[in-house]
Structure 1
Amino acid sequence: MEQLQYIIEDKTIAYLLGTNNFTNDESAVLELVKNAYDAKAFTVTLSFFKETLVIEDDGMGMNTSDIRDKWMHVGKSEKEYDVVDARNKIRILSGSKGIGRFALARLGEKIELYSKKRGYTGIIWETDWNYSSLTEKEEIQESGTKIVISKLREKWGKKKVQDLVLFLSKTYNDTAMRITINHPEITCDIQKYFPEPQLGRNCLSTIELIYDSSSKKLSTTVLSDEFLDEAKKYCEGLNIKQAYVESNLLDEIEASEYDLTKEGLQLCLENLGDFSAQFYFSIKPTTIDVEKFMYKYAKLPEALPGGVILYRNAFSISSYEGKKDWLGFGKRSRKSPAAASHPTGAWRVRENQMAGKVEIDKKNNSFLVDLSNRQGLEENIYYQLLIKIIHVGVSEFERYRQNIVRSINVKNEFEKERADTPVFDKVVENPKLISTLSEQEAKQLVNEMKSFHKESKEAIKDKEDTEERYKYDVRILNVLATVGLKASSIAHEMRNDRNSIASNTECIIEALKEYGMWDELNSPDKTKKAYNNVPYLLKSNNEVSMKIIAFMNAMLSEIEKKQFEPKWQSIADILKRIKHSWESDYAWVVINVNMGEDVIYFISEDVLQVIADNLILNSIQQNEESNHLEINIDVKQIGEVLSFVYKDNGRGLDKKYINAPRKILEVHETTRRNGHGLGMWIVNNTAIMSGGSVEKISGEQGFTIEFTIGGAI
């Protein structure tokens, strides 16, 4: 049997693995810089001439054998995990694919490579990508490698070299090797892109994430200097300078979201390996917001531009050097566009507000696999989990900052908006008095006018904030309303079919008995297999029919116009109707309403209906495997509001919410794979819009929520 091998033309290889393999010229240059780093060089110099680029390093160089057996062997790489350089420092090698040398083909048509390995004769390797030659050269004395790339495919003018300097500063994350650029118009050394973070100078907050794959825990540390010290008096129980949160990823991440079992998720989180990230947050507040939210800085002197870079040891992965929003901050913020001061919406950081870096390791994170051209990562399950874990940490920062902003915003809602203005009132009533004002009165009038001007600007800003808030709420509610209206339309069409749906099963059973078939259909040999077990199928069909009827009844009764008309009415009567409706549909649910019959309150029925229905539905969905669920609703009128304590005896909150139960109120927050995460947000939003609030949530022994409702709606 004859053994065959592929024969590929040199120029074809150069095109496929060089010209066509690198996304841009900067990436190709970076590949050659990495080669110098892996060769233990302490300095690499890139010199640009009219039609030539010379890359020279003082690394360990190559000999004849290296060129023949390694350099010319496509796809072969003997690089290990790390090496020790001449200064006795460890370097994690960046190469492994054995194709990085073809970056030369991207840059130029002709290559001359001069190299010398200590103790060996120097060599010259030349190619025009049709033919390659190797010659030994005694005259080469210094160890290292010099590559002359001529007939450049692109012109390297000042702007293009400036772009390269920025690119290399972003992609090089080490100090072991000096990178020097020489160009007729630019001479510089490459500096690390990110300076040491300085709060109040180049960022407002730093967020450090450390993931421990053995414990499956993520540590999030926030340091902040965003708010004035005076803000502390509005932030009781909050440290406005720092926060620390430890998250258990087995609790935070739903295995089903990734088509994994719990055990599979645990294994993937372990295989992912340890990694860390550091983010730098900054914003540009308006003049009004600076005062309104007690911001310490109106502008940072050296604010870092947005963009997050992914580093694998000494170098970034080219497609993740900060240009694209690979962490999806923009998508998250568009999905949840609420302002930080929004009372119920979840604020999300924008991509232009966050700079930073994520650092992974070649060995520890080996399941994060490079694409063949090293221009990106395979977006496998481990990549998806990396993104998810980072989002968990960033969410902790978002929650921490939003709690501070919301606390400060309380002062804006309750403090007196306008001082008395007696001088202004006098002048308005009698404009002629303006000429008789004393110097003191004139100054007071000027101050009052300035105050009016400021309040006018604040009113415009408040109006814009309110509009944004309700646009956000309406977007979510419109989706729910549209779904509800479609379902209601179908329910109305089926209204006349309810009786037949409810009685069909019994009628079929009676007919089978009358025809003498029922006993035979119940015999053991006719009920062995579920798919042709007629009694079982009828029973299952009847259960589904009852659910359809329950759905129709709910749709037909809860969107009537009268539901939305506020009036004086008995709260006990409304809750009893809700209790009866749910207990009729779910025989395994018992609802106890504990309150006085004499509580009469001015409210529209839909407020109670929306809150009660969402709470009860949430209890049922969280305890679907139970055969008995008991719910207690205690109600009292305290002053101008109704106070509620809602409890169930179910399994309580998911582990991820035990230490931070208010997270369940955030929009789209859910542990159910197909859940929308809107139920508890609607409860919170409705309570706040009515003039009440959610006071307390606990979930270790069943689920408990305490809240108030007002009559503002």
Structure 2
Amino acid sequence: MEVLKYIVEDSTIAELLGVQNFSTDEAAVLELVKNAYDANALNLKIKFQNNQMVIQDDGIGMNVEDIKKHWMHIGKSDKKYEIIDDNNNKRIQAGSKGVGRFALSRLGCNIIMTTKKADNSGVVWKTDWNTSIIDTAENLIENGTTILIENLRERWNKKRINNLCEYIERTYFDDSMKIEIITDEFNKIIPKYFPTAEIGINCKSNLKLKYDNGILTTIIKSDEFDRKATKYCQGINLNEFESKVNVKDELKGSYIEEVAENDLERIVNGIGKFSANFYFNLLSSELDKDKYLYKYTSTPEKIKGGIVLYRNAFSISSYEGKKDWLGLGKRSRKSPAAASHETGSWRVRENQLAGYVLIDKKKNNKLQDLANRQGLDENIYFQVFVEIICMGIKEFERYRQNIIRKIDVKNKIISPNKSPVSDRVAKSPKSIKNLTPDESKQLASEIKEYKKEQKRYQKDKEEVEQKYRYDVRILNVLATTGLKASSIAHEMKNNRNFIYENYENIVDALKEYGMWEELNLEENTRKSYKNVPYLLKNGNEVEKKLLTFMDTMLEEIEKNQFELRERSIFDSVNAIKKVWQRDYKWIHINLDIEEDIVYEISEDVIQVILDNLILNSIQQNDEIQLLNIFISAMKNDGKLEFEYRDNGKGLDDKYLINPRKILEVHETTRKKGHGLGMWIVNNTCIMSGGEVQDIKGEKGFYIKFTLGGKI
């Protein structure tokens, strides 16, 4: 028996692992920067002259044995997790695959490398990618490695070198090795891409995430709002916010839970500890500054854009800030509501957030490189990793939107009518000559205010249009589904008598033919799929449900449901109660509503809210044998005040700290749930002129809300 080994031509290896393996020349240069970093270099110089590139570092260097055993051994790496120098400084090593040296092939046709290791002779290694030779270099004194790349495959002009500087600046996240780019025209030391966050100087808010063992901690520091905002934001700290989220609980009902099946806890814990640091900036107009009490329109300094994923000292290819790998653009397009929207969920735009995420080679080893090292395998671990980051961003979005919603209340307050000077001038233009100096100043002030009001009106108009575009998109889907169902119900109505009498007609016919008694004999009813009386009875139950569905659909879309008129609230709620108790025998609805309460409101408002609340109770408690629901209503300060509660299991743990999260669009813990029910409840309350006042979920579910008569 003979053991065989592959023989591969040097030029083929260089082509596959060098020229084709690296997507760009900049990525190839970065690989050589990593090599210098892993060699514990303190200084690295990249020089461009004529048609040559020189990579020079003062690292530990190599000897002849290192070249033969490691440098020339493809796919083998002598690099460990970390390297420790004489001063006990640690560096996490970037390389591990043993193919990074072929970045040289991507850059040039001829390579001359001179290198020296302490207490060893210098070495020269040369290659044209067909033949490689090694020789000694006795004249080398300094430890380190210098690589001369000749016959460059591409021309490095000033623009390309500037792009390289920006690329290395963005992808290198350390200051233990100084990197200098040297050309005939300039010398540049690569600075740090992301500065220290300075609230009010280079960002309006700073968002830090810390993830460890299934718990995500979100820490926000902000200087976005003026002190005047505290008047409208009682109980909210405008400058600091911190929250902790149980990731496993938060993922309930998401597509991630479905994909992970029963492995979610293992996946969540397997991701490993990581952190993130984001800078939020928003350029606002003077009009918005006044409207939402922003402290300033922009910050004096700017942060470069993009969100970069760093693994220790270097970014990961394809996650260098140029692509939206967190999907912020997709999130904002899916939920385009403004921050002032009463019910829609505001999402930060990708151009408003910059920063970085830090992972570790060992701690986050489930986040694995692709074979070509040009990205990560976007497996289930990566998907959960992205979801965790977005959870932290969502905490910031909720915090900021809550502040803006409260401030926006002041913009809805109508000022009392005044008797402005401009009214007199409009009625009698000649009177302008008789104005006193104070009245002239007031007139000028009023004209300025009118102009300002016009701009504000235009802005409000745009926000209203945006708000209803968002609402209509969601409601159109539900309306279309309802119309399809009502169309089927109309068709079924023509067959109503047949469906209703079908069971009795079949039984009567079987009795008349003398078959009914035989079909009920024990030997003919042992197997359920052959038990004709049982099958007919079950079919009859299904037919009754279809009739109930049809009647409900046709009743609820009648035109008079949408008419605004005075109604008995007890009668309206009692009618809803009867329908639900007719269809669900295991629920009991208790009413505490005085029969003489009359209120001008359209029927659909009450029905939409209570139907969604009752449906939620049923879906969340389908294992309970008897579900008790309690509904009370009373008039209070010109509005209807409702309290609704049930004896079910209450809210999921993820909502107990902040129950109002259930009002957000698409928020659900049920698999394949749409998460629109409670959003519709909240939206309907607000559109009527009311609001959701309180939500609890520790012992059963409880909600208190008011309704007005706007719709």
TM-score tier after normalising by the smaller chain length: over 0.9
Alignment partners' CA distance in 2, 1:437 and 1:494: 76
The superposition leaves residues 325-370 of structure 1 with CA deviations (integer Å, 9 ceiling, x where unpaired) of 1111111111111111111101110110001110011111111111
Alignment correspondent of 1:491: 489
Q: How does 1:568-587 map to 2 (within 5 A)?
A: 568-587=566-585
Q: Is the 8 A contact 2:18 2:102 kept in 1?
A: yes
How far did 1:539 drift? 6.1
Alignment correspondent of 1:65: 65
Alignment partners' CA distance in 1, 2:537 and 2:103: 69
Equivalent in 429, 439, 444 of residue 446 of structure 1: 444
- Secondary structure of 1:516's match? helix
User: Structure 1 256/409 Cα, relative in aligned 2: closer, same or farther at 3 Å?
Assistant: closer
More deviation in 331-340 or 587-596?
587-596
Equivalent in 236, 239, 242 of residue 237 of structure 2: 239
More deviation in 556-565 or 462-471?
556-565
- Secondary structure of 1:476's match? helix
Alignment correspondent of 1:212: 212
Alignment correspondent of 1:552: 550
Q: Is the 8 A contact 2:519 2:533 kept in 1?
A: no
User: Structure 1 132/696 Cα, relative in aligned 2: closer, same or farther at 3 Å?
Assistant: same
Structure 2: unaligned runs, 5 residues or longer? none
How far did 1:141 drift? 2.6
Paired amino acid for 1:568:
E
User: Structure 1 374/514 Cα, relative in aligned 2: closer, same or farther at 3 Å?
Assistant: same
Q: Is the 8 A contact 1:255 1:262 kept in 2?
A: no
The superposition leaves residues 409-455 of structure 1 with CA deviations (integer Å, 9 ceiling, x where unpaired) of 11111151x76243212211211111122222111111111111111
- Secondary structure of 2:669's match? coil
Alignment partners' CA distance in 2, 1:41 and 1:404: 49
Q: Is the 8 A contact 2:94 2:313 kept in 1?
A: yes
More deviation in 497-506 or 575-584?
497-506
- Secondary structure of 2:521's match? helix
Alignment partners' CA distance in 2, 1:506 and 1:14: 83
Q: How does 1:417-566 map to 2 (within 5 A)?
A: 420-501=418-499, 504=502, 511=510, 514=516, 516-520=518-522, 523-524=525-526, 526-527=527-528, 541=539, 544-566=542-564
Alignment partners' CA distance in 2, 1:319 and 1:236: 44
Q: Does 1:11 align with 2:19?
A: no
More deviation in 255-264 or 461-470?
255-264
Q: How does 1:355-374 map to 2 (within 5 A)?
A: 355-374=354-373
Q: Does 1:142 align with 2:136?
A: no
More deviation in 60-69 or 636-645?
60-69
TM-score of the two chains, using structure 1 as the length reference: 0.95
How far did 1:503 drift? 5.5
Alignment partners' CA distance in 2, 1:81 and 1:546: 69
The superposition leaves residues 511-557 of structure 1 with CA deviations (integer Å, 9 ceiling, x where unpaired) of 49616133346655x35xxx777677666655544443333232222
Q: Does 1:648 align with 2:646?
A: yes
Paired amino acid for 1:559:
I
How many residues matched?
706
The superposition leaves residues 655-685 of structure 1 with CA deviations (integer Å, 9 ceiling, x where unpaired) of 1001100000011111112111111001000
Q: How does 1:146-165 map to 2 (within 5 A)?
A: 146-165=146-165
User: Structure 1 287/168 Cα, relative in aligned 2: closer, same or farther at 3 Å?
Assistant: same
Alignment partners' CA distance in 1, 2:522 and 2:102: 78
Alignment correspondent of 2:265: 266
User: Structure 1 58/688 Cα, relative in aligned 2: closer, same or farther at 3 Å?
Assistant: same
- Secondary structure of 2:494's match? helix
Alignment partners' CA distance in 2, 1:602 and 1:477: 24
Alignment correspondent of 2:173: 173
Q: Is the 8 A contact 2:519 2:531 kept in 1?
A: no
The superposition leaves residues 13-43 of structure 1 with CA deviations (integer Å, 9 ceiling, x where unpaired) of 2222111111211111111100110111111
How far did 1:78 drift? 2.5
Paired amino acid for 2:38:
D
Alignment partners' CA distance in 2, 1:456 and 1:385: 47
Alignment partners' CA distance in 1, 2:388 and 2:501: 52
Alignment correspondent of 1:126: 126
Alignment correspondent of 2:658: 660
Equivalent in 591, 594, 605 of residue 593 of structure 1: 591
Paired amino acid for 2:204:
L
- Secondary structure of 1:580's match? helix
Alignment partners' CA distance in 2, 1:2 and 1:653: 68
Q: Is the 8 A contact 1:329 1:349 kept in 2?
A: yes
User: Structure 1 550/24 Cα, relative in aligned 2: closer, same or farther at 3 Å?
Assistant: farther
Alignment partners' CA distance in 2, 1:9 and 1:201: 57
Alignment correspondent of 2:400: 401
Alignment correspondent of 1:289: 288
Q: Is the 8 A contact 1:220 1:245 kept in 2?
A: yes
More deviation in 694-703 or 498-507?
498-507
Alignment correspondent of 2:102: 102
Q: Is the 8 A contact 2:253 2:671 kept in 1?
A: no
Q: Is the 8 A contact 1:203 1:303 kept in 2?
A: yes
The superposition leaves residues 294-316 of structure 1 with CA deviations (integer Å, 9 ceiling, x where unpaired) of 00011211121331111111111
User: Structure 1 21/141 Cα, relative in aligned 2: closer, same or farther at 3 Å?
Assistant: same
User: Structure 1 470/499 Cα, relative in aligned 2: closer, same or farther at 3 Å?
Assistant: same
- Secondary structure of 1:652's match? coil
Q: Does 1:230 align with 2:232?
A: no
User: Structure 1 112/655 Cα, relative in aligned 2: closer, same or farther at 3 Å?
Assistant: same
Identity among equivalent pairs (%): 55
- Secondary structure of 1:351's match? coil
Q: How does 1:331-410 map to 2 (within 5 A)?
A: 331-410=330-409
How far did 1:229 drift? 1.0
The superposition leaves residues 135-171 of structure 1 with CA deviations (integer Å, 9 ceiling, x where unpaired) of 2222223221111111112111111111111111111
User: Structure 1 624/206 Cα, relative in aligned 2: closer, same or farther at 3 Å?
Assistant: same
Alignment correspondent of 2:313: 314
Q: Is the 8 A contact 1:521 1:533 kept in 2?
A: no
Alignment partners' CA distance in 1, 2:370 and 2:226: 47
Alignment correspondent of 1:698: 696
Alignment partners' CA distance in 1, 2:658 and 2:336: 22
More deviation in 272-281 or 584-593?
584-593
- Secondary structure of 1:494's match? helix
Q: Does 1:47 align with 2:34?
A: no
Alignment partners' CA distance in 1, 2:130 and 2:537: 78
User: Structure 1 385/509 Cα, relative in aligned 2: closer, same or farther at 3 Å?
Assistant: farther
More deviation in 534-543 or 625-634?
534-543
How far did 1:279 drift? 0.7
Paired amino acid for 1:405:
I
Paired amino acid for 1:601:
Y
Q: Is the 8 A contact 1:522 1:535 kept in 2?
A: no
User: Structure 1 494/91 Cα, relative in aligned 2: closer, same or farther at 3 Å?
Assistant: same
Q: Is the 8 A contact 1:521 1:535 kept in 2?
A: no
Q: Is the 8 A contact 1:307 1:354 kept in 2?
A: yes
User: Structure 1 504/179 Cα, relative in aligned 2: closer, same or farther at 3 Å?
Assistant: farther
How far did 1:615 drift? 0.9
How far did 1:374 drift? 2.3
How far did 1:257 drift? 2.8
* RMSD, aligned CA: 2.0
Q: Is the 8 A contact 1:205 1:222 kept in 2?
A: yes
Alignment partners' CA distance in 1, 2:451 and 2:414: 18
Paired amino acid for 1:112:
I
Q: Is the 8 A contact 2:194 2:304 kept in 1?
A: no
Structure 1: unaligned runs, 5 residues or longer? none
How far did 1:3 drift? 3.4
User: Structure 1 474/309 Cα, relative in aligned 2: closer, same or farther at 3 Å?
Assistant: same
How far did 1:507 drift? 6.0
Alignment partners' CA distance in 2, 1:53 and 1:498: 86
